[in-house]
Amino acid sequence: MAETVTTDILVVGAGPVGLFGAYTAGFRGLSTVLVDALPQCGGQISALYPEKEIRDIAAVPGALGREVVAALKAQADAFDPTYLLGREATDLAYSADGRPVVTLSDGTVVVAGAVVVTAGIGTFTPRTLPAGEEFLDRGLSYFVPDPQEHAGRDVLVVGGGDSAVDWALTLRTIARSVTVVHRRSAFRAHAASVRELHESGIEIITDAQVETLHGNGVVQEARIRVDGRDEPRVLPVDSVVAALGFISNLGPLTKWGMELDRRTIVVDSRMRTTADRVYAAGDITSYPGKVRLMSVGFGEVATAVNNAAVALNPELSLFPGHSTDAA
């Protein structure tokens, strides 16, 4: 028989924004359940970038991803939320009194006063490297959960976005050598990171693509096709990190009756979706002027939870008070 859980706030997505949402709800005295398809908290950070340094959170000059997640979870745990991990939120219905009823992939049913969706980019799969897919997990990888795995190696990083540049900078002090290959001349990463990359001494090959990978069981060589050059460049490599971005998918959330803008959920200034009693915050949301930063997501989820609190009890004040006011 399926388990039924009742809560004030159901947070769908236990990444950084979802964890802060649980803290915000707990601070208001609301019970909270967090659901995530991943088996651990932290979302993309825990799954993909636990050792990556995060620098764009106010008052945190720099901290590893796993440290940020651990701190956010400790903050949320002060109010004892319930974690239902390793299961996906699939179906949304409503009870006779109008409460959202969400069914999870394992059959668990969560009856909530309100739902806050903080699912990041939804489910994500890496964009594959067309050349050398047969070397996946034998030198070719799409994630760097542990930079030490590349210690003493000749590493080729493919891509021009934030992940590619960040990993190149992280690995330069660990690997024997790092080379970056990007198919364009301009990088898409943050300007400060790109400047640091150019000043780092890392070899950068632009207007180029990986043509083939070669090796005897494991990657040993990469052939790079450079625009305007007749013959490919041949590089000895032990590791290839293809940081080409991700393909996101909202999955079952597309059937919840919310207005969507491509792969995001449209919200208003209260972070309400078009589905009754369903709010959203973080990278999954869309509105004019949206800026996709974790720090912005923290503010959005606080707005969502506090508006949900007032919707559940109109006698409450929208402003929750400051934490410094508490004993």
Joined together, the tokens standing for residue 319 give: 């402003």
Q: Binding site membership for FAD: which residues? A: 36, 44, 49, 89, 124, 283, 324
Question: What is the rounded CA–CA span in Å between residue 154 and residue 183?
Answer: 20
Residue pair 37/121 in contact by the 8 Å Cβ criterion: no
CA–CA–CA angle 226, 232, 235 (5° rounding): 100
- What is the C-alpha to C-alpha distance for residues 12 and 36, in angstroms, rounded to an integer? 6
Residue 227, judged by CB atoms within 10 A of its CB (0-12, 13-18, 19+), counts as exposed
- Give the helix/strand (H/E) hosting 34: strand 32-36
Report the distance separating Cα 28 and Cα 308, nearest Å.
Answer: 11
Binding positions are 36, 44, 49, 89, 124, 283, 324
For the chain, counts of helices (H) and of strands (E): 6, 22
